[in-house]
Amino acid sequence: MMHIDIITVLPELLDSPLNHSILKRAKEKGLVEINVHDLRDYSLDQRHRRVDDYPYGGAAGMVMQIEPIDRAISALKEKRNYDEVIYTSPDGEMFNQPMANSLSMAQNLIILCGHYKGIDYRIREHLITKEISIGDYVLTGGELAAAVICDSVVRLIPGAIGDEQSALSDSFQDNLLAPPVYTRPAEYKGWRVPDILLSGHQRKIEEWQHEQSVERTKRLRPDLYKD
């Protein structure tokens, strides 16, 4: 079973995304265990449960302190060996499908969610093994990024999705966007499903779907398209 440990100052923010749909089912099937740890439990100052402090050099904003984070990571490492200690941050490596594929093969992962103006840089230098950004925009904290990473990784664990083919035929798995899909009725308000899909001619349908994938990728994501 895969273990994912998430360290955060806002555990509640992760409740809903981690407990529905595929993530919920994967947990119930015993494919993954995701534990959310409140960083404040590791604060040196248990009265105020403080985990941030002013930055050296007098810049604006607060910085997450080194001790609570080191204590939280050390406590986890006493129980397991981790493949990666991930930090979510807008200046990390851009997350994509190949990274999700590779993380889905891990046994144990820690995800540390950033907040405020970031974390004491010594944590990144000495404890973090992978820094991930989910896109070129700034979130209030790393929790939503951690939820995105968990969702995309866990659905790739064999057995997580009912239809095994389904994860493999996703957009991006072969660097092509998925073809359009339709369901009944075949005509609605005069808008028709392409005739080819109703033809029952399986080989031609697959050819059409591939052509659509190539056309959509060239038009919408030329950066992904390779001849």
CB of 95 to ligand ADE, least distance (A): 8
Stretch that binds ligand ADE, among 21-29, 76-84, 136-144, 169-177 (CB under 6 A): 136-144
Please count the CA atoms within 13 angstroms of the CA of 139 that sit on its side-chain side: 20
**Closer residue to ligand ADE in complex, CB, 55/90:** 90
Count the residues of the shown chain that bind ligand ADE, applying the rule CB under 6 A: 12
Beta strand pairing call for 187-188 and 191-192: antiparallel
Q: Site residues for ligand ADE, window 140-179 (CB under 6 A)?
A: 142, 145
The DSSP output letter for 138 is -
Q: Report if residue 89 touches ligand ADE, rule: CB under 6 A.
A: yes
137, 191, 195, 226: residue in contact with ligand ADE (rule CB under 6 A): 137
Stretch that binds ligand ADE, among 31-39, 88-96, 167-175, 218-226 (CB under 6 A): 88-96
Distance separating alpha carbons of residues 225 and 221, to the nearest angstrom: 7
Q: Report if residue 135 touches ligand ADE, rule: CB under 6 A.
A: yes
Q: Report if residue 118 touches ligand ADE, rule: CB under 6 A.
A: no
- Tokens coding 109: 């992962």
Q: Report if residue 134 touches ligand ADE, rule: CB under 6 A.
A: yes
Number of C-beta neighbours around residue 108 at 10 A: 19
CA 79-2-120 angle, to 5 degrees, is 60
Distance separating alpha carbons of residues 227 and 217, to the nearest angstrom: 11
Q: Report if residue 133 touches ligand ADE, rule: CB under 6 A.
A: yes
18 Cβ neighbours under 8 A, 6+ residues apart: 24, 34, 36, 147, 150
Q: Report if residue 138 touches ligand ADE, rule: CB under 6 A.
A: yes
Whether 143 and 113 have beta carbons less than 8 Å apart is answered as: yes
Q: Would you tell me which residues interact with ligand ADE (CB under 6 A)?
A: 88-90, 114, 133-135, 137-139, 142, 145
